[in-house]
Structure formats: structure tokens, C-alpha cells
Chains A and B, each alone.
Chain A
Amino acid sequence: MELRIALAGNPNSGKTTLFNKLTGSTQYVGNWPGVTVEKKDGRLKSDRNVIIQDLPGIYSLSPYTKEEVVTRKYLLEERPDVIMNIVDATNIERNLYLTTQLIELGIPVVLCLNMMDVVRKNGDVIDLAKLGKRLGCRAVEISALKGDGISEAVELAVEAAGEKAPEAEQPHVFKGSVEHALAHIEESIAPYTDPRLIRWFAIKAFERDQRAITELGLDSELIAHISQHTADCEREMDDEAESIITDQRYRYITEVVHETVTKKPLKNGMTFSDRVDRVVTDKYLALPIFAGIMFLVYYISVTTAGGFLTDFMNDTLFGAWIMPAAASLLTSLGASDWLVSLIVDGVIGGISAPLGFIPQMAILFFFLSFLEDCGYMSRVAFIMDRAFRKLGLSGKSFIPLLISSGCGVPGIMAARTIENENNRRMTMITTTMIPCGAKLPVIALISGSIMGGAWWMAPSMYFMGIAAVVTSCLILKKFRRFASQDTPFVMELPDYHLPAAKSMMIHVWDRVKGFLIKAGTVLFLCCVIMWFLGNFGFSGGSFGMTEADSSLLAAIGGVIAPIFAPLGFGSWQLVASSISGFAAKESIVSTMSVLAGPDNMIGLFAGSAAAMAFLIFNLLDSPCLAAISTLAREMNDRRWTAFALAYQNTFAYAVALMVYQFGGLVTGTVEPGAGTIAAAAVLMIMIWLIVRKSAGNDDMKGAAYELHN
């Protein structure tokens, strides 16, 4: 017989980490809210009859957010056999608020105190037995990250599930007239619901929770009767029903914590995380520190350590060993010259071009993973909230941007947690402007080969992506369709901790594996097709292998190329490379290598301004097909998807035009002319779009923050 265990708890309490440990899954674990938006199922590794269900992180069972609605609906309607309530023991007081609500559901609860290793390290003590007794449930210490105590927790859950009703009597959370009113309400609604749910519905009816009242199906007379009990209590306590319940819950929790938790006095009353946060979230220092860290991450990944390894991969491994060896092997086997060219220049040359950048990607993902896991990236979302509120967005919109630095697909999907539809659309349109891992090869190629390995190039592309997002938001927000009030951004900041090496390695390996599989599928096919189109064509009245300039690709690219001539890359090879980027962004470098040869890619550019324009266009234009299809699905509206793609490409074209025309003027590769006038006009229009008065209501509300405790 199958047993269903639901994992419920506050955001960032470690539910997904525990879920992964119990089921052997590799679900994405994030240090920000909204990582789990819908419940996920998995079977327990040690017993396939036990189904573990990971629920979205919530602070309460009030139906205010999407996550709360999903969790509440599931717990009430599908009723798991047992709830494992994951509690961040370092923030026990806040976490127990949800616990008091879960206990009222009449489902056995096992209280799992997570991060107990940190509690012990802080010198705090929690009386587990007393805590369990006060809350009327079983309690166990675990460390989801290290796997400590999780077997015991599951054993307790299985044991609790065997009981028909929760082990102990429900705790007396409410007092005086509140409990008196609840007793009357319980009596009134008893015939309308399952006996196990009477307490839950009585409290909800007291709070005038319309969803709960509708679910009960009470007649108007009974509703009025219940309302009278609530009104009497409100009058006596001089407060609103919901506030009375909240207040009494916290009073009860404070009492329980006082009895069961002994905290070690802090130095200056601050934890280590508080002391670090005083600096990294400082009003003036926060942004420079973030800029400095991201600069270092990209500099080390692309220019120093990563650059050295990539040079070895490109020049020695592929350039000096694999390609000559493959050519001589094929020749010795008697393969024709065209076939040698297809395999060596087309397939190996094409695939190796982006593949050579794997060390840089791996190092970049390692650093990003470290920053996320240690808790710093959560602070960045908090820091950026201040800046984003000025744009009419909240820090919640910055989370998709942080995720997009890995890949645009989850970045677009992460926008789901943004309640405001206009802000959500704007975030989805702009989030892929942040350079993802697949764009790293083209950044590294241009910075390494064309800009002479300039130290500032790779980091500046990340900041250019943020600047493009900010500019786009400033422009779009002025239109009525995007104008909206921002919503408060509440986020719990986890304590700083050293990430587990294994989880970081899994993260990096997942990315690299994805890249390798893509090299064997999409890139391989792209290389073969591009080699064929770039080497075959009509020449002298017949179709066959021909010079590159007479090839099919030259003919097709030649038609489109004039459109890109004002951007400085009007050659058919570069146009074809840009277009191939829609299949996968790695294909840009791959196609350049196939069409020009691994050693001649630099020769495709007429100067550094043209190279920069090419790079910027390919960073800001529409993302790859996988991200476009995600965007279409998330927009769920063809017109909005078409608008998003049109905006991305127009914006990319406009920025690349200015970069080439103004950059070319400075470097002396562009003569003043029609292109320069067009670029100046674009600049004027862009400035006007940014500074003009908003067409809609752009009032801004203050944001709410929740820091430690």
C-alpha cells in the first residue's frame, strides 16, 4: 500500500534539499523564494511504496499567494497520510507559525528541525522532547544538507501515518474569548465537515475566510450566527478577527520557544550573517561590492584561469592534436578531399569551436553556483530591489535575471512568481538580455581574439546586459500596457554558509553535460548543414562543390546581409552565424568556425567596432529556440510573444547600430554619413523614450523587507 508524505515548510527551509536526499532526485535548489512553484512527487529511495511530495514554500496557509493556494488546496483536498514539517531551526520562531496551522489540519505532523548543525554551532540548545509535547506532534532533528537524521524522520513519519488521528491532543494555541468563540463555531459547523477538519474550518470561519466558508457550504443564517461570535470577540478584544488569530498564534509560539529554546548570547547582539550583511547590503557599498564580485567572477572565468585552459583546448587539443590526426587518418583511409573537409573543417572544427570554451563555462558556473549557494545572491535580489523599485519593478524581477546568467529558459519561467502581469511580461521580455552560459563562447572569442584579451570585456558584457534590462524597463514602463504599481517584495535571507562541494559539482556537471549533449545533437547537425550550404552551390551552370563566395549560404546570406551592413557585419558569413544562433547560441561560434576556419574567424570582422556590434547584437537579440518556445508558452498569447521578439531584435539592432557607428567614428573605421545620422537619430529617440512622461499610473509603493528575524 502506498503512503504519501508531504514536505511542507517556509521558503528556504530545505524542503527540496531533503526531497532530493530522500528520492535521489536532482531538483533545482535555490536560495530564493519561488523555486518550487508546484508540488513535485518522487518515490523514497529505500521504499518505493512511499511517495514524497515537495510542496512550495509558504509562511502560512492563508490563500494570498500562488504558493499558498497550491499548498492549502493540496493539503485540504488530497490530504497526504502525513506531513513532514521542515522547520529552519535557526529561525524557529517564524517557522512555527505555519506549524501551528498544519497541526490544525488533523493530519499527523512530524516536526523536522532542519539546520540543527548550524544551531549547535551557534551554541543554541533546543529541547526537542518538550517542543514536540507542546506542539502535539513528533519532533526530530535533521540536517537535509548532510543527510543527518533523515532516516529517523522518515521512520517517524511512517509510524505517525499509521495512526488514525494525530498522536496528542491539539495544543491550546488560543485563549480566553477566542477559544470560547471557536468552541461555539466548532459546534455549529460540525455537521458540515470531516471531524478531523472541524478545528481548521472553525478558525477559518472565525477569520471570515471566504474560501473556507464557501467550501463548508453553510446557509446564510449559520454564517450570520458565526459572524456574530466573531464580532463579539472583535469588540471585546478591540481588533480584527484575522489579527486576533495571528497575534495569539505568535504569543503562543513565543511562549513555546521561551520554554524550549536556549539561545547563546550574541556578541554585540549580532550573528555572523548580520555582521556581513551590514557591509554587503549597505546603502552605498552594496552595488559597488556586487559589481566588484561579478567583475571578478567573469574576469577569472574568462580571462585568467578559464582563458588558459580554453587556449589549451582550442590551440593544442583540437588545433594541434585532434584535427591534424583526423585529417591524416581519413586521408590514409582513402577518403576524398571534400569528405575530409566535411569532417575536419565542418564537424570537428565546428563543434570544437564552442566546445573549447567548456573550461571557461565550468569555472563561471562554479562561481555562480557558489555565490548562490552561500546566500550572497539572495542579498543581491534584496539590494537590487531598491534600484528596481525606481523602475517600477521589484527585487522579485531580479531573480529571473540572476537565473538567466545560467540559462534563459528557467529565467523566463522564474518570472511566474511575479504577481503583477505587466511586470511579469516585462521581466520575461528582458531577462534573456543577461548573457547566459551559451553566449559565453562568443564573448570569450571576441574578447580573447579580437579585443586582444582585454580584461574588462567579459565582465562588462554582464553589466551591459543589466544596463540593457534597465534601459528596456525605463522605455517599456512608459507605455500604458506596462505601467503598473510595484508589489511588495518579501524575502527571507538565509544565513551565510559554506556550500556543499557535491551540490556545486552537480550543478556545474549538469550544465557541462547539457552543453556536451547539445554539441552532439543540435551543433553537430548545424555544422553539417552549414558546411554543406557553405561549400555547395551553383557554379558554371551546374550544382556541386564550389568556392565559398558562390555557395548557397553566400547567396542566401547575401540577400539579408545589407540589413546588417550599418552594424558593421554585413558579410554573409557573419549574418549566417547570427541566424544560426537562433538554433542555439553556441552555434554562432560554431558556424563562424565552419565558414571561415578555426584560425580565420577574426578576419571576418572589419575592426573592433564591428566585432563589438556583432557581439552586442547577438547578446541582446532573440534568445535560442528553446527559450523562445518557453517565452511563447509563458506569455500564452501570440501577440505578446510576437511583440517580445520584435522588441528584442529591434532593441539589439538599435544598440548595435550605435555601438558600430559611434565606436567606428572614435576608432577611425567609420566615416560620418547616413549610418552615423541614423545612429544619432536612434540615440535621440531612445533618450526621448526614457525621459518622456509615463502614459499610465506609475505610482510606486514602498517595498517590504524581511531580514533575519
Chain B
Amino acid sequence: MNFITDNIANIVIVGVIALLAAMAVRKMIKDKKNHKSCCSCGGCDGCSGCSMAGNCHSDKAEK
């Protein structure tokens, strides 16, 4: 119990960092599933803002 009270600030801050990291991972996985890539080409809008929209994943669509 003493450990928790002594380190409450650390625990909360680590929790926040862990939450942010989890959210970042979740976004990256979600983007990958939606065929969005976080490259610098037109932001993270992925295919929607790309000149080759709908073309690059046609192999999956064909299956």
C-alpha cells in the first residue's frame, strides 16, 4: 500500500504514457487494416487522397 501512495505520481504518468502508446498502436493497426499508411504522402488519409486510389489493393479485392 505504501508503495502505491509513495509512487502515485509515477503510476499515473506511466499509465498515461502506456495509454497513449496503446492508442498509437491501435491507430497504426486500424490504419493498416483500412489500407491507410502513415507516410508523408497526403497525410494519413491513405488511399482516399492518393492518385492510385483503389488500385494498389486490387489483388486483395480480386480474391
Contact = CB atoms under 8 A, between A and B. Distances in A.
Given A413-B56, A521-B28, A334 B42 contact: no
B52 A38 contact: yes
Dominant SS among interface residues on chain A: helix
Contact of B40 (A35, A40, A416, A514): A514
B37 A513 contact: no
Given A333-B13, A339-B14, A525-B24, A406 B51 contact: no
Main secondary structure of the interface of B (DSSP, over half): helix
Interface string A388-428: 00000000000000000011111001101000000000000
A515 B40 contact: yes
Contacts of B7: 336
B39 interface: yes
Contacts of A347: 17
A413 B24 contact: no
Given A37-B55, A525-B21, A339 B13 contact: yes
A333 B42 contact: no
Nearest to A54: B53
B43 A410 contact: no
B51 A37 contact: yes
Interface in A492-511: 510-511
Q: Which of B21, B24, B52, B56 has the most CB of A within 10 A?
A: B52
A640 B43 CA distance: 29
A525 B52 CA distance: 29
A514 B39 contact: yes
A528 B54 contact: no
A28 B50 contact: yes
Interface string A243-278: 000000000000000000000000000000000000
A438 B40 contact: yes
B9 A36 contact: no
Interface string B10-44: 10011001001100110110000000011111111
B28 to A, nearest CB: 5
A528 B17 contact: yes
A514 B41 contact: yes
A65 interface: no
Contact of B53 (A40, A408, A438, A630): A40
Contact of A414 (B10, B27, B51): B51
B41 A410 contact: yes
Nearest to B20: A524
A335 interface: yes
A436 interface: yes
A438 B37 CA distance: 14
A407 B52 contact: no
Contact of A513 (B13, B28, B44, B50): B44
B55 A335 contact: no
Contacts of A336: 7, 10
A520 interface: yes
A36 B51 CA distance: 6
B52 to A, nearest CB: 5
Interface residues of B, number: 32
A25 interface: yes
Nearest to B55: A38
Contacts of A630: 37, 56
Contact of A517 (B9, B44, B51, B52): B44
A626 B38 contact: yes
Contacts of B25: 525
Given A343-B13, A511-B40, A26 B45 contact: yes
B41 A521 contact: no
B60 to A, nearest CB: 10
A518 interface: yes
B21 A406 contact: no
A212 interface: no
A164 interface: no
A29 B48 CA distance: 13
A279 B11 CA distance: 67
B5 to A, nearest CB: 11
B38 A521 contact: yes
A624 interface: yes
A180 interface: no
A465 B14 CA distance: 43
A173 B8 CA distance: 85
A437 interface: yes
A624 B37 CA distance: 11
Nearest to A512: B43
A347 B20 CA distance: 11
A511 B42 contact: yes
A38 B33 CA distance: 22
Contacts of B44: 513-514, 517-518
A28 B52 CA distance: 9
Nearest to A520: B24
Given A38-B55, A518-B40, A524 B10 contact: no
A400 B13 CA distance: 45
A517 B43 contact: yes
A436 B40 contact: yes
B52 A522 contact: no
Contacts of A35: 51
Those 8 A-B pairs whose CB atoms lie nearest each other, nearest first: A407-B41, A514-B43, A626-B39, A334-B9, A513-B43, A28-B51, A521-B24, A517-B44
11 contacts: A334-B9, A336-B10, A407-B40, A409-B37, A409-B39, A413-B50, A416-B52, A438-B40, A511-B43, A513-B43, A518-B38
